[in-house]
Amino acid sequence: MNFKADLLKKISKKKAVIGIIGLGYVGLPLALTFAEKGFKVIGLDIDESKIPILSKGKSYIKHIPSSRIKKLISSSHRKKSVIKTRFEATTDFSRLSSCDCIIICVPTPLNDKNEPDISYIENSGKSVAEHLRPGQLVVLESSTYPGTTEEILLPLFERARVEKQEVRSDSNKPLSSSLLPFTVGKSFFLAFSPEREDPGNKKFSTSTIPKVVGGVTLNCLEVAIALYQKVINKVVPVSSCKVAESAKLLENIYRSVNIALVNELKMIFDKMGIDVWEVIEAAKTKPFGFQAFYPGPGLGGHCIPIDPFYLSWKAKEFGVETKFIELAGKINTQMPYYVVDKVEEVLRNLKLKIQNSKLLILGVAYKKNIDDLRESPALKLIELLQKKGAEVNYYDPFVPQLPKTRKYNFKMRSIESSSLVSSLPFYNLVVLVTDHDFYKEISKLIIQNSKLIIDTRNIFGRNGFASPKIIKA
């Protein structure tokens, strides 16, 4: 049986059922994109709380409108024909057996030692292996170290079929030919395609961001390309999964290193009484050989704070030290501590101690205009400030309350929008962490009603305000 030809035919006619494991900031928009392009999509997640929300056509991610989901789960009649539900969500991983193409979009965090935690990939791989059948394509999209697809997932899938065969053999029943060991590139297909989702970016969507794809074999690559070409405007094939995995790391390490550079320059220039943001604005007038990066209170998001450590960890296996990359990671990791030092310095100048001081954090999302808290430096800031005895509140129009995360459980709620301006005078210090557009819109009111502001993003400076109340950090 020609599994490749059959799967390519299903993909071409959009008859292939797509399974997406992980319905977070990467998996949900990908699932919706496939469904909007005409594929039947089954979304799978271990978080039971997500399923009833999606089943009602609602979104739990602010920049993804509920209307996108509602259109895909509601059947309707047009000219006597029924439009079937194209997207459904479930925690039942046995549904993987009915999927033709399975895409894994799960988190890859760091553990307490800044080492890769690939347990989410491993657990997802085990679920896939349990229900794997001939003719399926499996694609890993989670950011990870080079070699993960072939070193972790491939053995799981090849071994799973052998183990099933052994179970049948023990039962003294005749073996089915379908239970012969799987061969990658022939009876099943395996590829890696790094996610490039940018939450809240209105210039690019899942469909318009070019998709890098690498396969374990040429057949795997051809099948994966055929799938993504149905929903992505431009697919970029590479020679292997390792190249695709490495490309993702390079993209984010490039940013990490350059952000670390300007973060270090910020600390140096601050001692010299030089405004680093003004320096950057001057430097970027050069029409060649320079790209502007901006400092901040620390790195956030799932990729940039994490990817450098993934490569550093893997490099040690080959006896290679990644001194440059690790130094950048350390500088960026230290930025929340720098901001706390600045808070203490400002309070000392006011003859105040940080203990029992009232502080307001403006913005807890890791970047502007979204509700994404993954690796947000604001969470580390709150932890550090509370440990020093400060009374900390926050205001973020996108995050009404702080949910429990892998690292933190603050049980805090944002102050109400209606009381923001009136409450500002009661805080000893306001610390701007996330540069939401809303803060820019009411910047005059924030400055007028605050005693002092530490601005870690230069949003007030960019608006042309020169106030003694504003301290850049």
Helix (H, G, I), strand (E, B) or coil at 251: helix
Structure-block tokens of residue 359:
């502080």
Dihedral sign (CA 317, 319, 320, 322)? positive
**Contact status, residue 143 vs residue 108, Cβ threshold 8 Å:** yes
- Cβ neighbors of 391 (< 8 A, separation 6 or more) are 356, 357, 358, 359
Rounded Cα distance, 132 and 138, in Å: 9
**Contact status, residue 121 vs residue 140, Cβ threshold 8 Å:** yes
Beta bridge partners of 69: none
Rounded Cα distance, 206 and 30, in Å: 7
* 303 has catalytic annotation: yes
Q: What is the DSSP annotation of 323-339?
A: HHHHHHHHHHHHHHHHH
Structure-block tokens of residue 223:
């099948």
Taking the C-alpha atoms of 7, 11, 208 and 91 in order, what is their torsion angle to the nearest 10 degrees?
A: -80
Rounded Cα distance, 363 and 312, in Å: 31
Q: How many CB atoms lie within 10 A of CB 107?
A: 19
**Contact status, residue 105 vs residue 27, Cβ threshold 8 Å:** yes
**Contact status, residue 393 vs residue 419, Cβ threshold 8 Å:** no
**Contact status, residue 374 vs residue 407, Cβ threshold 8 Å:** no
- Cβ neighbors of 220 (< 8 A, separation 6 or more) are 137, 184, 185, 189, 190, 191
Angle at 383 between CA 473 and CA 405, to 5 degrees: 115
H/E element, 310: helix 307-316
Rounded Cα distance, 332 and 355, in Å: 26
**Contact status, residue 348 vs residue 178, Cβ threshold 8 Å:** no
Dihedral sign (CA 172, 176, 180, 184)? negative
Q: Is 133 exposed, middle or buried (0-12, 13-18, 19+ CB in 10 A)?
A: middle
Rounded Cα distance, 79 and 263, in Å: 60
- Enzyme catalytic residues: 303
